[in-house]
Amino acid sequence: MQKSSMSRRRFLQSTGTAAIWLPTSVRGYSANEVQALYIDGEMQGEVSKWELDTPSLCVDLDLLEENIAKMQETLSANGIASRPHAKTHKTPIIAQMQLDAGSVGICTAKVSEAEVMFQNGIDRILMTTTNVTPTKIRRAMKLRQRCPGFIQATDSTVNANLLSQAASTMNITADVVVDIDPGGHRTGITPGQSALELAKLIDQLPGLNLRGLLCYDGGSQHVKGFEQRKSQTLERLVAATETYDLFFRGGLSTEIFSGGGTGTYNIDHETRGLTDVQVGSYVFMDSQYMDIGGESNSEIYSDFQTSLTILSTVLNDQYEGRATTDAGAKACTINKPWARIKGESGMSFSSGSDEFGTIRYEKEASRTYKVGDKVELIVSHCDPVVNLYNHMYAIRGDRVEAVWQIAARGMSA
Amino acid sequence: MQKSSMSRRRFLQSTGTAAIWLPTSVRGYSANEVQALYIDGEMQGEVSKWELDTPSLCVDLDLLEENIAKMQETLSANGIASRPHAKTHKTPIIAQMQLDAGSVGICTAKVSEAEVMFQNGIDRILMTTTNVTPTKIRRAMKLRQRCPGFIQATDSTVNANLLSQAASTMNITADVVVDIDPGGHRTGITPGQSALELAKLIDQLPGLNLRGLLCYDGGSQHVKGFEQRKSQTLERLVAATETYDLFFRGGLSTEIFSGGGTGTYNIDHETRGLTDVQVGSYVFMDSQYMDIGGESNSEIYSDFQTSLTILSTVLNDQYEGRATTDAGAKACTINKPWARIKGESGMSFSSGSDEFGTIRYEKEASRTYKVGDKVELIVSHCDPVVNLYNHMYAIRGDRVEAVWQIAARGMSA
A309-345 residue pLDDT tens: 999 999 999 999 999 999 999 999 999 999 999 999 9
The pLDDT, as a whole number, for residue A15 is: 29
Number of other residues whose CB lies within 10 A of the CB of residue B149: 14
The pLDDT, as a whole number, for residue B18 is: 36
Q: Of B285, B319, B343, which residue constitutes the final position of a domain?
A: B285
Contact B326 A129 (CB under 8 A): yes
Same domain, A140 and A252: yes
- To the nearest whole Å, the CA of A15 is away from the closest chain B CA by 32
Which of B56, B190, B330 lies closest to A384 in CB terms?
Answer: B330
Task: Evaluate whether residue A107 is within a structural domain.
Answer: yes
Angle, in degrees to the nearest 10, between helices A111-119 and A92-100:
70
Task: Evaluate whether residue A301 is within a structural domain.
Answer: no
Task: Give residue B101's domain range.
Answer: 70-285
Contact B410 A387 (CB under 8 A): no
* Cβ atoms of B83 and B106 closer than 8 Å: yes
Same domain, A115 and A257: yes
CA–CA gap between residue B131 and residue B135 (Å, rounded): 9
Identify all chain B residues contacting A112, using CB atoms and an 8 Å cutoff.
31
The pLDDT, as a whole number, for residue B4 is: 34
Same domain, B242 and B357: no
Q: How confident is the model at residue A246 (pLDDT cuts 50, 70, 90)?
A: very high
The larger pLDDT score, comparing residue A11 to residue B219, is at B219
DSSP A402: E
Backbone φ and ψ of A332, nearest 5°? -130, -10
- To the nearest whole Å, the CA of A355 is away from the closest chain B CA by 7
Q: Of B252, B285, B318, which residue constitutes the final position of a domain?
A: B285
For an interface test with A, the pick among B112, B170, B330, B333 (most A C-beta atoms closer than 10 Å) comes out as: B330
Task: Evaluate whether residue A300 is within a structural domain.
Answer: no
* Cβ atoms of B285 and B304 closer than 8 Å: yes
Least confident of A33-37, A78-82, A93-97, B19-23: B19-23
Q: What is the CATH number of the domain that holds A257?
A: 3.20.20.10
Interface of A with B in 28-67 (CB under 8 A): 28-31, 53-56
Same domain, B136 and B275: yes
Q: Tell me the pLDDT tens digit for each residue of B138-192.
A: 999 999 999 999 999 999 999 999 999 999 999 999 999 999 999 999 999 999 9
Task: Name the nearest CA neighbour of B376 among B65, B61, B49, B66.
Answer: B49
Comparing alpha-carbon positions, the chain A residue that sits nearest to B26 is A134
Least confident of B7-16, B256-265, B300-309: B7-16
Backbone φ and ψ of B246, nearest 5°? -60, -45
For an interface test with A, the pick among B278, B358, B412 (most A C-beta atoms closer than 10 Å) comes out as: B412
User: For residue A16, is pLDDT > 80?
Assistant: no
Backbone φ and ψ of B92, nearest 5°? -55, -35
Backbone φ and ψ of A215, nearest 5°? -150, 100
User: For residue A18, is pLDDT > 70?
Assistant: no
Task: Name the nearest CA neighbour of B378 among B355, B344, B353.
Answer: B344
Q: Of B285, B316, B344, which residue constitutes the final position of a domain?
A: B285
Same domain, A9 and A42: yes
Q: What is the CATH number of the domain that holds B37?
A: 2.40.37.20
Same domain, B216 and B174: yes
DSSP A184: S
- To the nearest whole Å, the CA of B149 is away from the closest chain A CA by 23
User: For residue B15, is pLDDT > 60?
Assistant: no
In B185-306, beta strands by DSSP E: 208-215, 256-259, 276-277
* Cβ atoms of A58 and A276 closer than 8 Å: no
Task: Evaluate whether residue B166 is within a structural domain.
Answer: yes
For B361, counting Cβ atoms within 10 Å of its Cβ (0-12 exposed, 13-18 middle, 19+ buried), the class is middle
Contact B326 A413 (CB under 8 A): yes
User: For residue A4, is pLDDT > 50?
Assistant: no
Contact A333 B333 (CB under 8 A): yes
- What is the model's pTM? 0.94
Task: Evaluate whether residue A295 is within a structural domain.
Answer: no
Same domain, A275 and A314: no
Task: Evaluate whether residue A55 is within a structural domain.
Answer: yes
Same domain, B165 and B280: yes
Radius of gyration of chain B (CA): 23
A&B contacts, CB < 8 Å: 174
Same domain, B325 and B364: yes
Interface of B with A in 154-213 (CB under 8 A): 155-156, 158-159, 181, 185-190
On the CB side of B308, CA atoms within 13 Å amount to 29
Contact B334 A329 (CB under 8 A): no
CA–CA gap between residue B57 and residue B341 (Å, rounded): 14
Same domain, B253 and B274: yes
Same domain, B192 and B324: no
For A79, counting Cβ atoms within 10 Å of its Cβ (0-12 exposed, 13-18 middle, 19+ buried), the class is exposed
Task: Evaluate whether residue B2 is within a structural domain.
Answer: no
CA–CA gap between residue A154 and residue A377 (Å, rounded): 39
Q: What is the mean pLDDT of residues A200-215?
A: 98
Looking at the structure of chain B, the number of domains it has is 2
Identify all chain B residues contacting A328, using CB atoms and an 8 Å cutoff.
412
Comparing alpha-carbon positions, the chain A residue that sits nearest to B108 is A355
CA–CA gap between residue B385 and residue B334 (Å, rounded): 9
Q: Tell me the pLDDT tens digit for each residue of B326-380.
A: 999 999 999 999 999 999 999 999 999 999 999 999 989 999 999 999 999 999 9
Interface of B with A in 98-127 (CB under 8 A): 109-110, 112
Same domain, B48 and B112: no
Interface of A with B in 126-155 (CB under 8 A): 129-130, 132-136, 138-139, 155
Backbone φ and ψ of B380, nearest 5°? -75, -55
The pLDDT, as a whole number, for residue B148 is: 98
Q: What is the mean pLDDT of residues A294-317?
A: 97
The pLDDT, as a whole number, for residue A199 is: 98
% of chain B exceeding 90 in pLDDT: 93
Q: How confident is the model at residue B27 (pLDDT cuts 50, 70, 90)?
A: low
Q: Tell me the pLDDT tens digit for each residue of B119-142.
A: 999 999 999 999 999 999 999 999
Q: What is the mean pLDDT of residues A58-69?
A: 98
The H-assigned helical ranges of B130-237 are: 134-146, 157-169, 193-204, 226-236
User: For residue A41, is pLDDT > 90?
Assistant: yes
Q: How confident is the model at residue A27 (pLDDT cuts 50, 70, 90)?
A: low
Query: How far is residue A4 from each of residues A52, A292, B283, measured CA to CA in Å?
Result: 13, 32, 41
Identify all chain A residues contacting B407, using CB atoms and an 8 Å cutoff.
none
Identify all chain A residues contacting B319, using CB atoms and an 8 Å cutoff.
181, 185
Backbone region of residue A132 per phi and psi (left: phi > 0; alpha: psi in -120 to 50; beta: other values): alpha
The pLDDT, as a whole number, for residue A13 is: 26
Contact B28 A390 (CB under 8 A): no
Task: Name the nearest CA neighbour of B398 among B376, B366, B367, B371.
Answer: B376
Backbone φ and ψ of A66, nearest 5°? -65, -40
Q: Tell me the pLDDT tens digit for each residue of B320-334.
A: 999 999 999 999 999
Task: Name the nearest CA neighbour of A82 among A91, A69, A65.
Answer: A69
Q: Tell me the pLDDT tens digit for each residue of B35-44.
A: 999 999 999 9
On the CB side of B232, CA atoms within 13 Å amount to 18
Q: Tell me the pLDDT tens digit for each residue of B265-289.
A: 999 999 999 999 999 999 999 999 9
Contact A412 B158 (CB under 8 A): no
Contact A412 B355 (CB under 8 A): yes
Task: Name the nearest CA neighbour of A6 among A389, A288, A410, A373.
Answer: A373
Identify all chain B residues contacting A412, using CB atoms and an 8 Å cutoff.
55, 326-328, 330-331, 355, 388
Q: Tell me the pLDDT tens digit for each residue of A154-163.
A: 999 999 999 9
- To the nearest whole Å, the CA of A17 is away from the closest chain B CA by 31
* Cβ atoms of B257 and B80 closer than 8 Å: no
Identify all chain B residues contacting A139, using CB atoms and an 8 Å cutoff.
30
Identify all chain A residues contacting B53, using CB atoms and an 8 Å cutoff.
133, 135-136, 413
C-alpha A356 chain-centroid distance: 25
CA–CA gap between residue B172 and residue B153 (Å, rounded): 17
% of chain A exceeding 70 in pLDDT: 93
Task: Evaluate whether residue B365 is within a structural domain.
Answer: yes
